Homo-oligomer: A and B are copies of this chain.
């Protein structure tokens, strides 16, 4: 045809908004038992993982998401020896956890073996061999089932889960019941973090996750980052009865990074800590006024 054309990724944030990204090459596109997974090469963001049609992360900026998920939590814990990761199939969360030299064991639980095999084959830039690290322990299981059955307890639990979506079961992993349950698997001094969806595209979900954790733990704080390939903000909530990353000063962060982190961080440091843990007034107001709690009977969902 006499037209110019290519493949694009079109993502709707709502029926009234979408973002379009040019795809230079589709590296793989396959269906697993649980989902459709693609690896593409975006013109702007390079290699990227797309699950069920939604961009999960790109090589150009995944470090923003994964460093923010992991390091404020682990640096705020006195001795994060034993870490549990629920989800995080691409292996980048595991990679960041293992950068912390106090971590002796990192157990990663993912439901979909195909995703992990897939990551090993196609997402080397993400896991960078972490799956084979001798401190890493990979478990294929439903996160909920794993928690129901494990007797082990942890210094840190990282929830790197797909968004709470009506119809799939991930929404249960954002409820007060589940948070109560994992709380019993935390050691003294321990803390958890969860990705908390986008304050740009689902602010009510972000604030409800925050409020649900406020009603489960004594100390709760949130961070917000901008992720270019999402064209929007992303949120994280940290919760504990003992520690809170928000109280760490710029200098304390920089000192702890020197002491504990093997290798370089590209996004997170003392100054970045200040920009992500201080919340803009209009968003802060929504968080403060949020009263909703996500429960199994009355869960919160992102717009499907």
Contact = CB atoms under 8 A, between A and B. Distances in A.
Interface residues of A, number: 73
B266 A281 contact: yes
A77 B201 CA distance: 37
A262 B42 CA distance: 47
A186 B285 CA distance: 37
B7 A7 contact: yes
Interface in A245-292: 265-269, 271-272, 274-276, 278-282, 284
A189 interface: no
Contacts of A232: 226, 228, 231
A302 interface: yes
Interface in A223-251: 225-226, 228, 230-233
A210 interface: no
A263 to B, nearest CB: 14
Q: How many copies does the complex hold?
A: 4
Contact of A6 (B53, B272, B275, B282): B53
Given A26-B38, A275-B278, A281-B266, A11 B5 contact: yes
B53 A7 contact: yes
A17 B40 CA distance: 15
A54 interface: yes
B5 A9 contact: yes
Nearest to A164: B2
B280 A272 contact: yes
A5 B1 contact: no
A271 to B, nearest CB: 5
Contacts of A2: 13, 163, 197-198, 201-202, 205, 302-303
